[in-house]
Amino acid sequence: MAAPARLADILQVDPSKVHISADGAVSFDPTAEGGQCQAALLRAAELLNSNQPVAIPTETVYGLAASARSSDAVRSIYAAKNRPADNPLIVHVGSIQQLDSLLKGDPIPAAYRPLIDRCWPGPLTILLRNKQEYGICPEVSAGQPTFAVRMPVHPVARALMILSGLPLAAPSANASTRPSPTLASHVFEDLKYQIPLILDGGPCDVGVESTVVNGLVSPPLLLRPGGYSLEEIRQLGGTSWQDVVVGKATAQADEKVQTPGMKYKHYSPTAKVVLFSTSTDPEGYLSEVSDAAKVIVLRTQRFPETIDRANVTVENLGATGKEISRNLFAALRHADEVGADLVLVEGTDESNEGLAVMNRLRKAASLII
C-alpha cells in the first residue's frame, strides 16, 4: 500500500519584517521575527530551485509559485491545481532589475512605461512578446507568442523572487474552478496534500487577481479586470491608454487565450451560486426554495439586512468596491465551510472595482437573474 501524501508545511512570514531597496536588495529586521522570515524564505527558495511549487502570499490572492524556467516545475503547478494545460500562467518578478535581466536587454514597450511607473509594484499584469532566449518554458504561455508578467507589491513574494533568483509562474493557489484563496488556510484546504510548503503572510489586501492589459495592440486591451480598475488604467496610463478597450470576458472552448481567467468555470464554491445582476428581490426567489436548503445571502447595498426564514443567513460583503473585492472569495469559501446548498449574491455596479467583482461572479454563478 502506498504511503499517504505528506501534509504541506505552513510557515508564518510577517511582511513588515521584510524590506526591499530601490536596487532590489532584500533585508530583514534584526529581530527573531525577521530571522524567522528569512529562514522561511530561504527554505522556499531552495524548494523552488529544486523545481517544487510553493504557495506564497501576494496583495491580490495567494499564488502557487514555481520556476518559470522549468517545464517540470510548471507542470507541477498544473498537476497540483488540476488546471487545464491551455490556461496560461503569469510570470512574477521581484524587481525591475530582475525583469530587465529576463528580457536580455530588450526594452519594455513604451506604451507600458506610464503604467509601470505608477502601478508597479502592484496588481497590474502586462503582455510582452516572448523570445526563446528569455528562457521561459513553453508551458507558461500555453503556446502563445506572448507572455504575461507582473511585479507584486507584497514584500514576501518579491523577496522570494529575488532570493531564489527565479522569475516565478504563479496562478492562484487553489484547486481549479474553486474560489481563489485570500488566506493561507484556503490554500491548505485545497492543496494540503499537493504541495510541500505554504508561506502564511496573512490576509490578502486586494482580494481579486491582477488586472491584465495588452499594450502591444492598438487600441490597447484590458484583458482581465482586477486590482486596478478600468478608470484607473485610463487615468494612470497617459494618452496611450485613454481609448483602452475592454476585451471579451469569456473565450470559446477552442480559442487560444493570452491570459488566465478567460476559459473554463472559475471561482465556484460547491454550493450553487445565483447572481442577482439586475433583480434586487432575493425573497421572491427564495419563495421557490425548499425550507430544507441551507442558504447564504451575500448583500452589499440593496438586499435586505435580514430575511425572516430559519434556513437563510444574510452576510455583508461590504459597502465599497474595495471591501467587496477583498471579501468576495472568502465569503464564497465560507459558504462551503458552513455547508450551504445555495448562495444568493447581490450584484454591484460595474464601475471602478465593480467590473472585476462582476467578472468573477459571472464565472462563479450557475444562474444569473
Q: Which residues are annotated as a binding site for ATP?
A: 83, 87, 146, 172, 180, 224, 267
Whether 206 contacts 225, CB under 8 Å = no
Indicate the length of the chain as a whole number: 369
Tally of CB atoms within 10 A around 173: 30
3-class SS letters over 38-66: HHHHHHHHHHHHCCCCEEECCCCCCEEEE
Q: Is 107 exposed, middle or buried (0-12, 13-18, 19+ CB in 10 A)?
A: exposed
Q: Under DSSP, is residue 198 helix (H, G, I), strand (E, B) or coil?
A: strand
Cell numbers of 105, please?
536587454
Q: Under DSSP, is residue 135 helix (H, G, I), strand (E, B) or coil?
A: coil
Of 220, 260, 249, give the one whose Cα is nearest residue 361. Answer: 249
As annotated, the binding site includes 60, 83, 87, 92, 146, 150, 170, 172, 180, 210, 224, 267
Tally of CB atoms within 10 A around 259: 25
User: How far apart, in whole angstroms, are the C-alpha atoms of residue 314 and residue 337?
Assistant: 15
DSSP string, 345-357: EE----STTHHHH
Whether 314 contacts 299, CB under 8 Å = yes
- Torsion sign (Cα): 162, 22, 15, 202: negative
User: How far apart, in whole angstroms, are the C-alpha atoms of residue 301 and residue 139?
Assistant: 43
As annotated, the binding site for L-threonine includes 60, 92, 150, 170, 210
User: How far apart, in whole angstroms, are the C-alpha atoms of residue 204 and residue 15?
Assistant: 11
Q: Under DSSP, is residue 114 helix (H, G, I), strand (E, B) or coil?
A: helix
Of 106, 81, 328, 304, give the one whose Cα is nearest residue 195. Answer: 81
User: How far apart, in whole angstroms, are the C-alpha atoms of residue 275 and residue 328?
Assistant: 13
Whether 32 contacts 26, CB under 8 Å = no
Cell numbers of 337, please?
465551510
